């Protein structure tokens, strides 16, 4: 089975062939800064209880914490936005490797991004994803979980230029760090992994091994 790390290594290799040195350096510097700034003590932990929240599915359907958990435990995969190249590798990979195993364990998988709900359907349709994607309006859940970030310096935006706030529809630089969060029907966190470097995300086997340990210890 191809690992996510391999897919990201291929993406990076292509960028090294096609990007200008300054662009490569800026991308690497931002990822390195996020890794340096990351403090795992500041985000949600295993054993914490997740408070009520509201997501909006790409279909427009409201998804509250309680309505989601009424159907069983859930795994939330936080991603940046529908056009993010790394997300377009990660989500279909999780659909192939993680979703079937979670389904077998009775755990639903939902992709979560701050991008406006009406713009999210494209990533699900593009890859034929077998799980829903939903908007986290204003990053409210991401902020409550402590997994969001902003650039330390916000670049000046030239008139008409594209920027993250325009792409996501949030009018904000804030994005979630790629995160996988599994919560049980009591809203207790059973697994969490936050990836400050968006090119070093959680492998499916890491999630499944941790969940098997939780089940064995129960």
What are the tokens at 179? 């995160």
For residue 212, give the nearest of 118, 107, 110 by alpha carbon: 107
How confident is the model at residue 94, as a pLDDT? 98
Q: What pTM does this model have?
A: 0.95
For residue 49, give the nearest of 131, 121, 144, 176 by alpha carbon: 144
How confident is the model at residue 163, as a pLDDT? 86
How confident is the model at residue 161, as a pLDDT? 56
The CA angle 211-214-218, to the nearest 5 degrees, is 140
The CA angle 8-9-10, to the nearest 5 degrees, is 90
Cβ(190)–Cβ(183) below 8 Å: yes
Domains and CATH numbers, the chain: 4-150+164-217 (3.40.30.10)
Alpha helices per DSSP H over the chain: 4-18, 21-37, 65-69, 85-97, 99-104, 117-127, 140-145, 164-168, 204-217
Q: How far apart are the first and last CA of the chain?
A: 29
How confident is the model at residue 152, as a pLDDT? 77
Q: Which residues of the chain have pLDDT under 50?
A: none
How confident is the model at residue 52, as a pLDDT? 98
Cα separation, 133 vs 130, in Å, equals: 10
How confident is the model at residue 147, as a pLDDT? 98
Cα separation, 184 vs 64, in Å, equals: 14
How confident is the model at residue 159, as a pLDDT? 54
| Sign of the alpha-carbon torsion through 44, 46, 51, 55 | positive
């Amino acid at each position: 089975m191809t690992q996510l790390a391999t897919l990201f290594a291929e993406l990076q290799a292509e960028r090294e062939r096609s990007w200008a040195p300054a662009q490569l350096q800026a991308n690497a510097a931002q990822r390195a800064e996020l890794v340096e700034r990351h403090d795992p003590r500041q985000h949600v932990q295993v054993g914490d209880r997740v408070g009520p929240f509201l997501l909006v599915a790409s279909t427009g359907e409201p998804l509250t914490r309680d309505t989601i958990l009424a159907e069983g435990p859930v795994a939330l995969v936080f991603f940046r936005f529908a056009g993010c190249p790394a997300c377009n590798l990660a989500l279909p990979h999780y659909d192939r490797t993680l979703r079937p195993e979670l389904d077998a364990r009775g755990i639903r998988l939902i992709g979560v991004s701050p991008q406006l709900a009406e713009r999210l359907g494209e990533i699900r349709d593009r890859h034929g994803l077998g799980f829903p994607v939903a908007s986290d309006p204003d990053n409210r859940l991401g902020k409550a979980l402590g997994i969001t970030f902003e650039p330390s310096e916000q670049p000046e935006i030239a008139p008409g230029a594209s920027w993250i706030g325009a792409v996501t529809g949030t009018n904000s630089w804030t994005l979630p760090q790629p995160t996988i969060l599994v919560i049980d029907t009591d809203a207790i966190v059973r697994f969490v992994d936050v990836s400050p470097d968006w090119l070093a995300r959680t492998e499916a086997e890491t999630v499944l091994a941790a969940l098997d340990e939780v089940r064995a210890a129960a």
